[in-house]
Amino acid sequence: MPGPALAYGAFLPAADSLYWGIGLLARSDSSGLPQLYASLKGNLALRRLFDLGLVCEVGPDSGALILRGGLRAGLPAASLPLLGSFSPGAALSFDLPVAGDTEALRIRLGLPLSLGTPFLFLQLAPEFSFRYDDGPAWQLSAAAAIGLSGYNLAAQLSARLSSADLAGGFSLQWPMQLALDLNLLPPGLPLRASLNGQLGLGASQLSWQAGLYFEVEALR
């Protein structure tokens, strides 16, 4: 879905839209070397209701296939003097490894809060997640984002910090994730381009990801 990569927002979609797109991303492996992925993605937005997104990624290993999806819904906003609007919402997302063993199953439930306007905003998103790798794990996360946009160009900076498995008590899990998103909507054309970069900052390791996506509008 468009917007900060690590923190879903709560602003309701301003218009109906349907986008289909392709992307290419590079993601570091355990040794820091890049691994290339191709992706197909779709996004459906219904005005003042919800956003629904789905991404299919094909990895470098033979048969590696990952599905990622997200659903974001907002509630009517409250207007605040000088601050724009305050919007609560809810978001559900998942990472599902269909084939290969490159990632673990993960399901996240978030309660995003957005303050400002779609042109300048601050977002906070506490999350509760379930992860299954070698065994089940339950985690808490806190995500935040700041965004600035015009009618044709938008930029968002987001961050997420998660806990370790809550079964062992509360403790932070590294790395902390940082992401920068740049979105371009050329005037008069039914398409948009997105550039995403992410860093994982840990005490003893550094991971990264960079992606470029092109989407065509199929419904307005």
- Summarize pLDDT for 123-151 with one digit per residue, the tens: 999 999 999 988 899 999 999 999 998 88
pLDDT band at 110 (very low <50, low <70, confident <90, very high): very high
What single-letter amino acid sits at 30? S
Q: What is the mean pLDDT of residues 103-126?
A: 90
- Own/partner contacts of 154-157, CB < 8 Å, gap of 24 or more, are 154/2, 154/181, 154/182, 154/183, 155/180, 155/181, 155/182, 155/183, 156/3, 156/4, 156/5, 156/180, 156/181, 156/183, 157/4, 157/181
- Specify the pTM: 0.87
- CATH architecture observed for domain 17-219: Beta Barrel (2.40)
Using CA atoms, how far apart are residues 14 and 62, in angstroms rounded to an integer?
Answer: 41
What single-letter amino acid sits at 10? A
User: Which of these ranges, 78-87, 121-130, 152-161, has the smallest mean pLDDT?
Assistant: 78-87
Q: Give residue 29's pLDDT.
A: 75
